[in-house]
């Protein structure tokens, strides 16, 4: 394929990916704990090959997840909390694997277990003793409940984890992330100590999608797509002209 066509086609593919990513971000603007993604490219497909080799254009698009914190959204539920730094808390997935989340919408199941979204147990697990009621979590991660005498007692503690490279975490769906070799070393601690920020009780973390930024990115990608399409059209016309000269 002539260079102008391949370069223009790669530009259209990249900007289509940008628009797909923006659409996904905007669709999740009200999803609690959602982390937006951005589409990236790294210049020409094979920089070592000179232009006459026919490899101009944009490299294959990759996505990068942005872990900036979202604004706390107050729910007034005593078991809800919002993480305010770059850490996660551990839960036990249904297959027994330890995974990580930032959505602090905790609740209590029928057996008195304090569970995360979908009924997943905390890691380490927290269970209310028989007769205990009105569980709550404070800004240091202490989970307490009223005992049979009406006194508030500590029944467990939330721990946080931080990764050297959170971009290396694998996204599992349902707001869950899995640890990988690329995520680097993991550091554990409790909110308000060990270098971790205190959590916000009675709230959940909102999406970190900035609608103004997303719409700006959408407009730029749309204009870039149009420019790439025009370049492809010009290249096609030049190729048709050259073909007709040989007839």
Residue 95 three-state SS: coil
Is 70 exceeded by the pLDDT of residue 1?
Answer: no
Confidence band (pLDDT; 50, 70, 90) for 240?
A: confident
Is 70 exceeded by the pLDDT of residue 96?
Answer: yes
Is 60 exceeded by the pLDDT of residue 75?
Answer: yes
Domain-by-domain residue ranges, the chain? 3-67+209-245, 72-205
Is 60 exceeded by the pLDDT of residue 49?
Answer: no
Is 90 exceeded by the pLDDT of residue 2?
Answer: no
Residue 90 or 11, more confident: 90
pLDDT more than 70, % of the chain: 93
pLDDT of residue 87: 94
Report the C-alpha gap between 144 and 222 in whole angstroms.
Answer: 52
pLDDT digit string, tens, across residues 177-236: 999 999 998 999 999 998 999 999 999 999 999 999 999 999 999 999 999 999 888 887
C-alpha distance from residue 150 to each of 135, 144, 146 (Å): 12, 12, 5
Residue 74 or 64, more confident: 74
Angle ∠(43,47,53) on CA atoms, nearest 5: 120
Report the C-alpha gap between 94 and 19 in whole angstroms.
Answer: 34
Q: What is the mean pLDDT of the chain?
A: 89
Sign, CA dihedral 170-196-198-193, equals: positive
pLDDT of residue 100: 96
C-alpha distance from residue 4 to each of 13, 170, 220, 221, 242 (Å): 14, 37, 21, 19, 14
Structure tokens at 207: 């999406």
Strand partners, 204: 73
Is 70 exceeded by the pLDDT of residue 42?
Answer: no
Is 70 exceeded by the pLDDT of residue 44?
Answer: no
Check residue 80 and give left, alpha or beta (phi > 0: left; psi -120 to 50: alpha). Answer: beta
């Amino acid at each position: 394929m002539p260079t102008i066509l391949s370069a223009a086609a790669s530009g259209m593919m990249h900007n289509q990916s940008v628009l797909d990513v923006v659409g996904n971000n905007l669709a999740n603007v009200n999803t609690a704990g959602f982390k937006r993604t951005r589409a990236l490219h790294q210049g020409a497909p094979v920089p070592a090959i000179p232009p006459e080799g026919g490899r101009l254009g944009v490299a294959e698009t990759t996505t990068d997840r942005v872990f900036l914190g979202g604004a706390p959204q107050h729910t007034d539920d005593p078991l809800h909390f919002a993480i305010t730094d770059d850490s996660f808390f551990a839960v036990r997935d249904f297959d027994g694997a330890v995974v990580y989340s930032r959505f602090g919408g905790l609740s209590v199941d029928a057996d008195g277990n304090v569970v995360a979204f979908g009924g997943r147990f905390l890691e380490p697990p927290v269970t209310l003793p028989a007769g205990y009621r009105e569980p709550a979590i404070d800004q240091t991660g202490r989970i307490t409940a009223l005992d049979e005498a009406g006194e508030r007692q500590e029944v467990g503690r939330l721990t946080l984890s931080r990764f050297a490279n959170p971009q290396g975490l694998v996204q599992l769906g349902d707001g869950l992330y899995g640890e990988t070799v690329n995520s680097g070393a993991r550091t554990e601690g409790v909110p308000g100590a060990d270098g971790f920020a205190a959590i916000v009780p009675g709230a959940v973390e909102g999406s970190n999608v900035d609608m103004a930024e997303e719409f700006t990115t959408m407009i730029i990608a749309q204009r870039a797509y149009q420019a790439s399409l025009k370049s492809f059209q010009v290249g096609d016309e030049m190729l048709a002209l050259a073909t007709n000269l040989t007839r």
